[in-house]
Amino acid sequence: MDSYIDMPVAPRAQDARRTESIKLYGRDAFEGMRRAGALTATCLDGVSDLISHGTPLAEINAFVLDFAATHGATPATLGYKGYEYACCTSVNHVVCHGLPNEKKLRDGDIVNVDVTLVLDGWHGDSSRMYAVGKPKRAAERLVRIAHEAMMRGIGAVRPGARLGDIGHAIQSYAESERCSVVRDFCGHGIGQVFHDSPNILNFGRAGTGPELREGMIFTVEPMVNLGRAEVKVLVDDWTAVTRDRSLSAQFEHSIGVTAEGFEIFTLSPKGLHAPGIEIRATPE
């Protein structure tokens, strides 16, 4: 299975000091990530206008391609390990890496769009859920839980905290809502490399793992299922789906560790954190 956990990482020392293979970045890198992250977030804001009944997923791919080209960026996924698209589009029980093919969105669908734009060498990696029309209550609830899970993971980030605190915050919240967390994929270090060390697991024990330090840059991207955690990859070798065909949802931000806590590089300029779905400040 093509999981980031098994993936060899290729650390580069450029522009970075290294501690136990987790790079520490300075001001210029944060500025580069801010610009790449803002561009990716603006692209995801634009995607929301395309989300309606009958839109082929390929149209989302075409939009991302064009957006990147007109903004001096390149989609990192294009040609990545043989992947042929500018984004991933994962509908309903698709967990991640759904292919933006001719399949059409339908009323009631929930879809994750995952975009990574490279601007001046820096990777802005983010994904959001979108709702087509009015999804069922269970689907809306799952989307809200996935977003809250990501934000709780990010909320655990500050110098002195441990990597395991992030996974613990995500897992304990998602499971308290009777959902499950996918184990086969994880967040990752990011910067001038798309998938760098460390792996950011979406489960774990508080107080374990390497200590977080100011200057680290990585993604937080939990996948949360309504049913069981198990996934399988379809014969296309990319599309990951829930084994029990239950709904799955994911959000992703690229973030940096700051002296005070964290900075999110991929916040929506339009405030469209989860278009079409009201995200409540506190869980039900």
Residues found near Co ion in the complex (CB under 5 A)? 114, 125, 127, 219, 252
Q: How far apart are the first and last CA of the chain?
A: 35
- Examine residue 250 and tell whether it contacts ligand MF3 (CB under 6 A): no
205-224 residues near ligand MF3, rule: CB under 6 A:
221
114 binding ligand MF3? (CB under 6 A) = yes
CA-based nearest residue to 216, from 169, 173, 166 = 166
CB of 6 to ligand MF3, least distance (A): 14
Token readout for 77 is 């996924």
Residue 63, H or E segment: helix 57-70
Residue 242 binds which of Co ion, ligand MF3, none (CB < 5-8 A, kind-dependent): none
**Rounded least distance, CB 123 to ligand MF3, Å:** 9
Per partner kind, with CB cut-offs from 5 to 8 A, the member of Co ion, ligand MF3, none near residue 88 is ligand MF3
Q: Is 83 in the site for ligand MF3 (CB under 6 A)?
A: yes
Name the β-bridge partners of 233.
240
Residue 100 CB, nearest distance to ligand MF3 (Å)? 10
Closest CB 127 distance from Co ion, rounded Å: 5
Contact between 174 and 149 under an 8 Å Cβ cutoff? The reply is: yes
Q: How many residues of this chain interact with ligand MF3, rule: CB under 6 A?
A: 11
* Cis amide prior to 198 (ω within 30 degrees): yes
DSSP letter for each residue of 139-183: HHHHHHHHHHHHHHHHHT-STT-BHHHHHHHHHHHHHHTT-EE-S
Give the span between the Cα atoms of 85 and 31, in whole angstroms. 27
Is 140 or 252 the residue whose CB approaches ligand MF3 more closely? 252
Fill in the amino acid letter for 99. L
The secondary structure of residue 274, as a DSSP letter, is: S
Query: Using CB under 6 A, which of the segments 81-89, 142-150, 159-167, 210-218 binds ligand MF3?
Result: 81-89
Is 252 among the residues that bind ligand MF3 (CB under 6 A)? yes
Supply the minimum distance, in Å, between the C-beta of residue 125 and Co ion.
Answer: 4
Segment near ligand MF3 (CB under 6 A); pick from 12-20, 62-70, 77-85, 258-266: 77-85
Q: Candidates 76-84, 105-113, 145-153, 209-217: pick the segment binding ligand MF3 (CB under 6 A).
A: 76-84
Strand segments, DSSP code E, in the chain are 17-19, 22-24, 74-75, 88-91, 94-96, 110-119, 122-131, 180-181, 187-189, 196-200, 217-220, 223-225, 231-233, 240-242, 248-250, 253-257, 262-264
Give the residue with the Cβ less far from Co ion, 173 or 185. 185
Residue 97 contact, options ligand MF3, Co ion, none, Cβ 5-8 Å cut-off depending on partner type: ligand MF3
The single-letter DSSP state of residue 284 is -
Q: Under the rule (CB under 6 A), what is the footprint of ligand MF3?
A: 77, 80-81, 83, 88, 97, 114, 116, 125, 221, 252
